[in-house]
Amino acid sequence: MRSTLLAVLLAAAPDAGVALKPPAADAGAAPSALPPAPVATAAPGELERLRKRVGELEARTAELERQTKQLDALAKKLDATTDDLAAFKKQVDEREETRQAAERRVVEQKQRFESVTRSLVTVDQQLSTGATNVNEALRAAEATYTGAALQYVQAARASLANGDVNTARKYLLLAVLEAQAARP
CB-CB contact of 153 with 134 (8 Å): no
Look at the pTM and tell me if it is higher than 0.85.
no
Give yes or no for residue 101 having a pLDDT over 70.
yes
The residue type of 160 is L
Residue 40 pLDDT class (50, 70, 90 cuts) = low
- Report the CATH number of the 106-181 domain: 1.20.120
Rounded Cα gap, residues 33 and 156, in angstroms: 123
DSSP assignment of 63-126 equals: HHHHHHHHHHHHHHHHHHHHHHHHHHHHHHHHHHHHHHHHHHHHHHHHHHHHHHHHHHHHHHHH
When the pLDDT of each residue in the chain is averaged and rounded to a whole number, the result is: 84
User: Of 12-16, 30-34, 135-139, where does mean pLDDT reach its minimum?
Assistant: 12-16
What integer pLDDT is reported at residue 49 of this predicted model? 93
Q: Give residue limits of the domains in the chain.
A: 106-181
**pLDDT by residue (tens digit) across 111-162?**
888 888 899 999 999 888 888 789 899 999 999 888 999 999 999 999 999 9
Give yes or no for residue 3 having a pLDDT over 60.
no
Sign, CA dihedral 20-26-27-31, equals negative
Mean pLDDT, residues 22-46 taken together: 63
DSSP assignment of 23-68 equals: PPPPTTSPPPSSPPPPEEE--HHHHHHHHHHHHHHHHHHHHHHHHH
